[in-house]
Structure 1
Amino acid sequence: MNITKRGSTYHLVRRVPKRYGSVEPRGTIWISLHTDSENEAKRKAPVAWSLMEAAWEARLAGEVDDAERRYEAARNLAAMRGFRYLPVEKVAALPRQERLERLEAVMRNGEPDRIEAAAILGGVTPPPITVNRALEMFWTLARDRTLGKSEDQLRRWKNPRIKAVRNFVEVVGDKAIDQITPDDVLEFRQWWVERVETEGKTPNSANKDFTHLADTLRTVNRMKRLGLVLPFTDVALKEGEKRVRPPFSTEWIETKLLAPGVLDGLNTEARCIVLGMVNTGYRPSEAAGLLPEHIRLDGTVPYVSIEPVGRQLKNATSKRLIPLAGVSLDAFRQCPDGFPAYRGKDKISDTVNKFLRENGLLETPAHSLYGLRHAFEDRMIAARVDERVRRDLFGHAYNRERYGKGADLKHLHEVVSSVALCARSSASSSSKSRSNARKIGR
């Protein structure tokens, strides 16, 4: 780089690269470095040249026809010149001195430069944001929501939003979001009503579409400061009585699920996840996410630690310790390193539910693997285990202020052991266990 002193100030002098000939008529440029120190000038020269190249690139981009690229180029070029991009009407409303500064900045040899004027005086119209484009922008604008999610969790988070946008565009078209009318939303709602009536879809499916679509567009509206009023209120379909997943009865678990050899058709990891769930009530995804260091079998109290490592937990209270006892402890002794076949994948529930269904191991058609979680809680309720203790074990929010640390691991182990089931438990031993649990839970 050629650094030359003109008067008391150093300048960077360089030939203009051929690439920028269409946007820079000068063959050689002089850039003031605003210093009389040669060392300081040498330090500032590379930065000044980099900024100059960035400005030329913005001018090149400003020549293209694509509305979005032209708008972004105008914003970048204005920033390079030390101004915040404003639409022309806001530039006109600026104080007189600020308007003059902008006008002076666009002059080249006594004439206004077309591209500079478009950028600094706000002459580029912002491109319309369509529904599909809003979804693309949403992934970046809402990236804080994805922090800590595993690849599989991210896929499951994205898919319903992609589906909602695809359905809306199919019905209404890929409209600019500032052109969406209440009639458009009602038309989308009616499309869903017809699907519920003729295709057996549930109102819940429709309402998820409304929720995800509205959240996507409202996030873009808020984060981009568009100031739009989006017509997505009061569109939900009436869902009726919510389906409740029933718990397995203790008798069914003991005589069917824990009978010798009944679960041998499952692979070892899937079988151990099922058996581990019997006396822990963990969520299947929590078990699948366990790492070897989260499984502690060698201490006085064996336990698993549910932690947000490599994935997000459902909520903050889901981070917890669960002691192991009975058939669940036996299962983790078989799988002390966790379940790598299912780690980071959303398939354990489907695998197990299919097996249980095909082998007649579901107590009713409404039952599923999740019924083991509810069954474990029912046994604790029957044993009169304190609500705070139950919520801590299940990772449920507590509706009152939490005081103190709660039950320690030893006490939690006593509670879990008192209601734990073992393979081939007899009715009498089960009854005795529940009797002991009532004493501990008081």
Structure 2
Amino acid sequence: MSLKKIGNTYHLRRRVPKRFAPIEPRELISQSLHTDSAQLAKLKAEAAWAELIEAWEARLAGDTEDAERRFEAARELAERRGFRFMPAAKVAELPTTALLDRIEAVPEHKGEPNMVEAAALLGGVSEPPITVTRALELYWGLAKDKTLGKSEDQLRRWQNPRKKAVKNFVDVVGDRPLPEITGDDMLAFRDWWIDRIAEEDMTPNSANKDLIHLGDVLKTVNRMKRLGLVLPLSDLSLKEGEKKKRPPFSETWIRERLLAPGALDGLNDEARAILLVMVNTGCRPSEIAALTPETIHLKANVPHISIEPVGRQLKSRRARRKIALTGVSLEAMRGFPAGFPRYRDSSASLSGVVNKFLRENGLLQTDSHSLYSLRHAFEDRLLAAKVDERVRRDLMGHRLTREEYGDGATLEYQREVLSPLAF
């Protein structure tokens, strides 16, 4: 590096490093230090060179295929040139003089504008949408004020519920970009929690914690990244003591609405089949989604499925059971003799997909109904038909309230009981 006085001003002169050759010609560069004092020029030289290096690094980062890094590099490069980064649409709305200032600031080499700098100064780099999982990654850095003074164990206990809330949401709804999260998505997540509360004897507080932690992550990123989004996060919490049990679908509703020709055509094949298997078995959606070829017995004397702890834990010992297939459930299962690989490891997303479809297509009998209402409807049909309590509990996978004797109903007897009730 050398200093040379040209006229009344000192200039910094130094050869460009090899790694910046794609950006500048490998020749001595010259930058004005805006001073006629040799002593002051020496003081400014190192800072000026460091600033050039940082600007070149930003420009190189602008060539990356990583959309987020490319956007950050463009914003940083614009700021180093004395401009605030603006999207192209906003740049186009600038007064003529301000627009010309930006255009004239784009450096040229051999008469050609530097396209990386042009993109940074004229808004030619789009900000990539932030997904929910990416929002969580950003959140840790944006919420550092909440972790000051925490021990490693306290930090782990602070992070884990937020990780859990985001994972649950993504499992149910999908890894949505933040601008695409809808009120329906949040209701689907809330519905999933209500069903889980009813089935797993949990409290509404568990759901509310997830909703609070998810909301904290999304709102913090929205605010700190200045996204300006209106996120549908209000009026979602569950009241303690809120009724947990889902109402059953009526037989008329199942027959005339859910099973009407073409009513379920908009659902993907696996989700539609799982719904139909629920109709005459009353199984939990997760139990059907987890079926494997070894637990599907279509060629048996009595076609049936067996709920087994294959690759997963069952809700309880009583959840392990065999259920005869009848009516639309048998027909649906025949279409998937190997099970449902799409949902085998993501039954949470199954409930989200089906509940959203039913809601959007007017197939929920009331706002309180959901996919789980088919399970409750099945139990009500057993009760109305005066099916023995032991058989009902065996079919539903419920605990007996008395001493358990014998093996319970055979598959042949199940078929005899269920056939008259089947759709």
Specify the TM-score bucket, using the shorter chain as the normaliser. 0.5 to 0.7
Equivalent position SS for 2:3: strand
* CA distance, structure 2, for counterparts of residue 13 and residue 20 of structure 1: 16
Alignment partner, residue 129 of structure 2: 128
Q: In the alignment, is the contact (CA less than 8 A) between 2:12 and 2:45 conserved in 1? A: yes
Aligned-partner SS, 2:84: coil
AA matched with 2:66: D
Which one is further off, 77-86 or 43-52?
77-86
- What is the match of residue 40 of structure 2? 40
**CA separation in 2, counterparts of 1:64 and 1:226?**
23
| TM-superposed deviation, 1:87 | 1.0
CA distance in 1, matches of 2:142, 2:105: 33
CA distance in structure 2 between the aligned counterparts of 1:226 and 1:183, rounded to whole angstroms? 21
Offset at residue 42 of structure 1 (A): 0.3
CA distance in 2, matches of 1:13, 1:106: 21
C-alpha separation in 2, matches of 1:27 and 1:126: 34
Q: Find the counterpart in structure 1 of residue 179 from structure 2.
A: 178
Deviation by residue 1:379-415 (Cα, 9 ceiling, x = unmatched): xxxxxxxxxxxxxxxxxxxxxxxxxxxxxxxxxxxxx
Distance 2:202 2:85 in 1: 48
Q: Which residue of 2 aligns with 1:58?
A: 58
Q: Give the letter for the 1:222 counterpart.
A: R
Answer yes or no: is the 8 Å Cα contact 2:131–2:175 preserved in 1.
yes
Shift of 1:201: 2.2
Tell me whether 1:111 sits opposite 2:112 in the alignment: yes
The equivalences for 1:397-412 within 5 A come to none
| CA distance in 2: counterparts of 1:225 and 1:76, whole angstroms | 16
Q: Within 5 Å, which residues of 2 pair with 1:42-441? A: 42-109=42-109, 110-240=111-241
How far did 1:235 drift?
1.3
Tell me the CA shift for residue 107 of structure 1. 3.7
Q: Which residue of 1 aligns with 2:373?
A: none
Q: Deviations over 1:321-375 (max 9, x none)?
A: xxxxxxxxxxxxxxxxxxxxxxxxxxxxxxxxxxxxxxxxxxxxxxxxxxxxxxx
User: Counterparts of 1:150 and 1:74 in 2: how far apart (Å)?
Assistant: 37
Q: 1:291-341, CA deviations, whole angstroms, 9 ceiling, x for partnerless residues?
A: xxxxxxxxxxxxxxxxxxxxxxxxxxxxxxxxxxxxxxxxxxxxxxxxxxx
CA contact (8 A) 1:24 1:56 kept: no
- What CA distance in whole angstroms lies between the structure 2 residues aligned with 1:159 and 1:211? 13
Q: How many angstroms apart in 1 are the aligned matches of 2:25 and 2:89?
A: 30
One-letter identity of the residue aligned with 2:189:
F
State, as a whole percentage, how many aligned pairs show the same letter. 64
**C-alpha distance in structure 1 between counterparts of 2:132 and 2:18, whole Å:** 40
Take 1:236 and 1:52, find their aligned partners in 2: how far apart are those partners? Answer: 52
Distance (whole Å) between structure 2 residues aligned to residue 82 and residue 236 of structure 1: 46
CA distance in 2, matches of 1:83, 1:107: 14
Contact conserved, 2:18 with 2:26, CA < 8 A, in 1?
no
Cα distance in 1, alignment partners of residues 140 and 175 from structure 2:
18
CA deviation map 1:179-227 (0-9, x unaligned): 1011111111111111111122221101100011011101111122211
TM superposition shift of 1:23: 1.4
- Contact in 2 for aligned 1:68/1:127 (Cα 8 Å): yes
SS of match in other structure, 1:12: strand
Aligned to 2:11: 11
Q: Retained in 2: the 8 A contact 1:9–1:35?
A: yes
Shift of 1:150: 2.5
Work out the CA distance in 2 between the residues paired with 1:83 and 1:149.
39
Q: Distance in 1 between matches of 2:235 and 2:16?
A: 60
Unaligned 5+ segments in structure 1 are 242-442
Amino acid at match of 2:4: T
Determine if contact 1:138/1:219 at 8 Å carries over to the other structure. yes
**Cα distance in structure 1, aligned partners of 2:173 and 2:27:** 53
CA contact (8 A) 2:17 2:26 kept: no
Partner Cα separation in structure 1 for residue 98 and residue 43 of structure 2: 31
Alpha-carbon distance in 2 for matches of 1:219, 1:107: 38
Structure 2 Cα separation of the partners of residues 99 and 215 of structure 1 = 39
Structure-2 change in CA distance of 1:98 and 1:26 (3 Å): farther
Q: What is the SS of the residue equivalent to 1:83?
A: coil
Deviation of 1:26 after TM superposition, in Å, equals 4.5
TM-score (norm 1): 0.53
CA distance in structure 1 between the aligned counterparts of 2:228 and 2:12, rounded to whole angstroms: 44
Deviation, 1:136, is: 1.3
Q: Secondary structure at the match of 1:153?
A: helix
Provide the C-alpha distance between the structure 2 equivalents of 1:226 and 1:56, rounded to a whole number of angstroms.
Answer: 28
**CA RMSD for the aligned pairs?**
1.4
Q: Residue type matched to 1:91 in 2?
A: V
Q: Secondary structure at the residue paired with 1:147?
A: coil
Instruction: Please name the residue that 2:30 is paired with.
Output: 30
- Cα distance in 1 between the residues matched to 2:193 and 2:205: 10
Question: Aligned pair in 2 of structure 1 residues 96, 26: CA closer, same or farther (>3 Å)?
Answer: farther
Match of 1:410 in 2: none
In structure 1, what is the Cα distance between the partners aligned to 2:148 and 2:53? 35
Return the offset for 1:119: 0.5
Which 4+ stretches in 1 moved above 4 angstroms? none
Measure, in 1, the Cα distance between the counterparts of 2:41 and 2:209: 60
Question: In structure 2, what residue type is equivalent to 1:64?
Answer: T
**Where does the alignment leave 5 or more consecutive residues of structure 2 unmatched?**
243-423
Report the count of equivalent residues. Answer: 241
1:127 aligns to what SS in structure 2? coil
Higher mean alpha-carbon deviation, 113-122 vs 83-92, is at 83-92
How far is the alpha carbon of 1:56 from its aligned partner?
A: 1.0
Matched-pair contact (CA < 8 Å) for 1:10–1:36: yes
1:144-192 superposed Cα distances (whole Å, 9 cap, x missing partner): 1222223222222111111100110111111101110111111111111
- Structure 1 residue 112: deviation in Å? 2.3
Contact 1:204–1:239, Cα closer than 8 Å, also in 2: yes
- Give 1:347's aligned residue: none
